[in-house]
Structure 1
């Protein structure tokens, strides 16, 4: 039976018809537009900003004082760590050490390097371990130039002498690019689409559409940095999200197009119908993801705002491509959508109203029947499983990665281990105290109080700025950057030690370690606000689509459970170290501070996508039959295949991030893959049908309106507007 959607008018209908009939113009416009934006975006991209400090935190105030009164401390530095089995004074060891120091000193991007043989403070008492600082003369030294210094140090190790080059720039320089992981994700998605569609042509359309959209979207993401600064992981994160949703959105529309052709539509009507129905749901789903992403703005951190805007730009472009570029492609393909088919032993025609083949639908209906016969048991078991998985979330610790969590073949990790052995694990977590209060002699009681605090290894003498307006000193904790004890120490110093010392209330604690702690504390305090905003906005949108307060509330609770379960699995693997090495994590570590921040809005938006695709079908069936049980059974049967395929694509794309080198991106990909898997299985296939069965007619409650009951054969508005 052919629907009349193509003749009902409306903006989407007119847009779809225009793109189909003017397909050459639309395709040419897209090609020229993407090339132009890509040339500008990738050629003149805004520089990334990875400074997570800022605002009114103690560490930000300390950093501001240092930048204002200690300009000589500005600029990046590297740290050379040296370990000689026979001592650094062994003649063979000294020749090797002198040579590497000379090579580093001769580099055009380094300043004067002080040899540890000239300063006994740079050498341990047993003369086996030494260190020295290498200043970088260029503020933004090229990665290749710093990499050459790292290679020099690596190649100089040997014959009883171990060398490591540490520092932020060294870590960046030896961290490889994301590499082929995105390509692997595209290949995996192509295989899944080929299995789902059984046709190379149908498989290729979502891939090509998504790739063109992502190219333009990532270019806009790079340019958005001029409006709001964003960290360097924004582009990789946007690529993950864009690739996943871009392919999925095109998948939904191509599926509906194929159904329409099998129902007897000509290619133009099939295209218009697909865009008007599935395209409507795609726009809603994409808008939900964008609104959820923009919830990051509520966190009040400028870099998270940059991530939200940059990633949202990519999602917006994929949405636009799905309802403009894809119908143009469909105009070129026409009836050839099933060309180059996968050989099958039997061919089953789909049912007249679309959906999976009868045997597959029957299996899904049987599963729905099993759930509906024992809804309470199913709901309890599914809910308990999610709560068990979410339990580790209660022990989640947040921090930013440092050299100690990098792969063990990195020079920065070698530097960390050598310095920790010789100067203590807290050497890589210095606490920098800064104040404008009086000369350095006035800080004597403060220095003594800090030095006497349990957990402090040693304190350096105070130094006064050249203008005489500020004083600073450094304290080294006994524990490392990632240790919980270090964060507890910083809080103790701020809350107990400094307030009790004379003039201590005017002393601020800064440095990379304190900045990471402040950032984590700020994130933890503002995360509930972001969650509340995302939930409220998403609920409003879902109520507007499905016209049910009950279902919208169910969706919110279930989404929270699935995201909590994903957080729990992430904590167990990353922080507790369960199977961590299997997933490419060199050691157990706290969860990167910004990971749960960016995961929540994206996952909540994606979960709402699946909710829309399932509930829209259920709503259609309810309006047609007036029976909730039948509606849930048929709705689940007709969406099971497409939700499974969409989830499989998302999981494939997200898990490919584990192939990359960045430990934080690995965490994001792992967490989101787990969340999508849980959402598409436990939540959509078990919890949703069970809870809807328990709620019965209450599923359709809306204030001031009774739920409609319609007879078989009566067309529904949702069928015309949002059927997938």
Structure 2
């Protein structure tokens, strides 16, 4: 691999315009293919393994236009006056005339008649292209606009409006990119060097976006998948380019020609980038074990983005480095002036202190991470509903009105489906109505074919209340065969339970395969096992912070959360798979330099200090950039995206500081030569992969390769 990467780096640096031109062709071709053959993202909310899905399938089979999307309209007179029957009749007529609307309920008036609740049923699922986003939302807005013009409050709630109001705005990501550029300028001291990683990452991401569009033509790709792919692709793309540019500048500072510097940077840092990306891809493939089709699309889409930015980093970085020449170096270095300060770099001084007192440093870091992780013991997950939306959204205002006027359970009624050949619908309705925890039961409606009867049971608690999930479980245990409890809230309860169980399957797969890969790379048993444990610690700590901020409400107002909300059920599996791969990125970068020094010197303690001193700044810079990118996503209105961005930002901060700068070097110092212990039998079984190795024999090899390249050129 060293020969291949050296040759790639040398040649692309020697002939940069060939590579740049090739990438222009690739970008144009990718967008042309995406425009001609690409598909559109489409959500699939069917969950075959969920108990509530059985009831949904019965409704689709026996109820005309049943099992489709639903929406709610809440009309309220702010002065407390009774609503006009004429206004409500007009609303019913306008709603009934909308495309795909199959049913409109009669207005349900509140006790004082100042509020009306209307439920709308559609003949198509919420994922239907005719209903997604503005296609379904705008007609509803038009139907309620006359009520608003008359001075009434009219809000949209429920399934369809909830999806439409979660659309990404993109302003946060733009702010993150600008902040990343500023950090790059500070890190390099050169505008050219700062812009290069960002340009490479955006180019790779553009091709990746086209690839995701082509993927959408072959399978259902979740509408949220491109967001996750952009978040991860942008972060790792900048990281990979940053590592390569840093090593290139380092070799330039040693007096090497720009072509040779590019070749050597690729042969060292390039190998780390390749294998770091492998750890990310392995983690992403673990998403397939999440049990839901949507997770698979997250994994595939993000993998396309990672591969695209990796290809850009390995080819565009050396090409642009060759084009920029010594302009990548800080101005003082280009002029041959001495550094402003003769003090050792901060990372070197920090490394010396950690190595000097490893036990104290390790204990302090461990206690701190365990303290942050403690809230995870009380973490409760629940899919997003109207209660978790921003209070400025119509969905949240509709939710609050329903809660205040009809009770919390009116926001999440259960749909009871009774097989008339196995149970008496009226007896089932009476049994459920008499049960504690049920506030109201509607009259059973028998389908035209007489096969099933359907009615709603309204719980006394809100959808996100923990007692609601317990109530769903209890009803299913008490009711006889032939009765199904379904609807959005029971489906959410099923999802929450399924994903909690699947988390451990994903964790086991990702950890096992990552440990095996690290063992092959670093020829050690201790290093990969220790890396896995520390990554799990930092991820658990991020879960703990997420729980404290969102579920406990500590500081949530800073993120636009006005009340405590449960952690989204989608978050634990998704963030684990992504974060474990990203954490392994930094582990590979750090351990590569430590092992490089260890192989050259045989000094176990000194190699840790020198490896940390050499990589501390680049890891910190890369982490800071990724953090601002993720925080940009945390400014979005959608609570799931907000939690995802914030949780990942916290995890990266902890991983790059507490873990990578304290816990890893401290424990490696204490273990000494035992870090690199590998049983002989296992050494023979494991394939050999060198992540980043530099010694005098390789230096001679590179010199020989360089001369060969010069002759070839």
* TM-score in terms of structure 1 length: 0.88
1:529-608, aligned counterparts within 5 Å?
529-608=505-584
The match for 1:676 is: 652
Distance apart, 1:22 and its partner CA: 4.6
CA distance, structure 2, for counterparts of residue 516 and residue 716 of structure 1: 60
The match for 1:703 is: 679
CA contact (8 A) 2:525 2:678 kept: yes
Find the partner of 2:500 among 520, 524, 527. 524
The match for 1:132 is: 118
Find the partner of 2:52 among 59, 66, 69. 59
CA contact (8 A) 1:658 1:666 kept: yes
- Matched residue SS, 2:559: coil
Distance apart, 1:370 and its partner CA: 2.4
Distance apart, 1:379 and its partner CA: 1.4
1:52-201, aligned counterparts within 5 Å?
52-85=45-78, 89=82, 104=95, 116=107, 122-135=108-121, 139=128, 140-141=130-131, 143-145=133-135, 146-147=137-138, 149-150=140-141, 153=144, 156-157=147-148, 161-201=152-192
Find the partner of 2:343 among 359, 363, 366. 359
The match for 2:690 is: none
- Matched residue SS, 2:65: helix
Is the counterpart of residue 406 in structure 1 residue 389 in structure 2?
Answer: yes
Structure 1 gap ranges (5+): 1-7, 117-121, 351-356, 499-503, 708-712
The match for 1:4 is: none
CA distance, structure 1, for counterparts of residue 532 and residue 337 of structure 2: 40
CA contact (8 A) 1:399 1:590 kept: yes
CA contact (8 A) 1:75 1:137 kept: yes
Query: Given the superposition, is the C-alpha separation of residues 544 and 102 from structure 1 closer, same or farther in structure 2, using an over 3 Å criterion?
Result: same
The match for 2:303 is: 312
CA distance, structure 2, for counterparts of residue 599 and residue 700 of structure 1: 30
Larger displacement relative to structure 2 (684-693 or 278-287):
684-693
Larger displacement relative to structure 2 (29-38 or 640-649):
29-38
CA contact (8 A) 2:5 2:266 kept: yes
CA deviations over 1:618-652 (Å, ceiling 9, x no partner):
11222222221111111111111101101100111
Find the partner of 2:640 among 651, 659, 664. 664
Query: Given the superposition, is the C-alpha separation of residues 608 and 426 from structure 1 closer, same or farther in structure 2, using an over 3 Å criterion?
Result: same
The match for 2:706 is: none
CA distance, structure 1, for counterparts of residue 262 and residue 567 of structure 2: 45
Is the counterpart of residue 241 in structure 1 residue 217 in structure 2?
Answer: no
- Matched residue SS, 1:591: coil
CA deviations over 1:368-392 (Å, ceiling 9, x no partner):
3322333222212211111111111
Distance apart, 1:610 and its partner CA: 0.9
Query: Given the superposition, is the C-alpha separation of residues 302 and 428 from structure 1 closer, same or farther in structure 2, using an over 3 Å criterion?
Result: same
CA distance, structure 2, for counterparts of residue 87 and residue 211 of structure 1: 54
- Matched residue SS, 2:296: helix
1:602-681, aligned counterparts within 5 Å?
602-681=578-657
The match for 1:353 is: none
Distance apart, 1:229 and its partner CA: 2.5
CA distance, structure 2, for counterparts of residue 450 and residue 236 of structure 1: 42
Larger displacement relative to structure 2 (178-187 or 387-396):
178-187
Distance apart, 1:159 and its partner CA: 7.8
CA distance, structure 1, for counterparts of residue 42 and residue 227 of structure 2: 15
The match for 1:483 is: 465
CA deviations over 1:409-437 (Å, ceiling 9, x no partner):
21112211222222221112121122435
Distance apart, 1:130 and its partner CA: 1.3
CA contact (8 A) 2:416 2:456 kept: yes
The match for 2:433 is: 451
Residue-pair matches, total: 687
Is the counterpart of residue 397 in structure 1 residue 342 in structure 2?
Answer: no
1:262-273, aligned counterparts within 5 Å?
262-273=253-264
Find the partner of 1:432 among 415, 418, 435. 415
Structure 2 gap ranges (5+): 684-693, 703-713
Query: Given the superposition, is the C-alpha separation of residues 694 and 706 from structure 1 closer, same or farther in structure 2, using an over 3 Å criterion?
Result: farther
Find the partner of 2:285 among 288, 294, 305. 294
Distance apart, 1:137 and its partner CA: 6.9
Larger displacement relative to structure 2 (687-696 or 225-234):
225-234
CA contact (8 A) 2:2 2:271 kept: no
- Matched residue SS, 1:505: coil
- Matched residue SS, 1:582: helix
Distance apart, 1:315 and its partner CA: 0.5
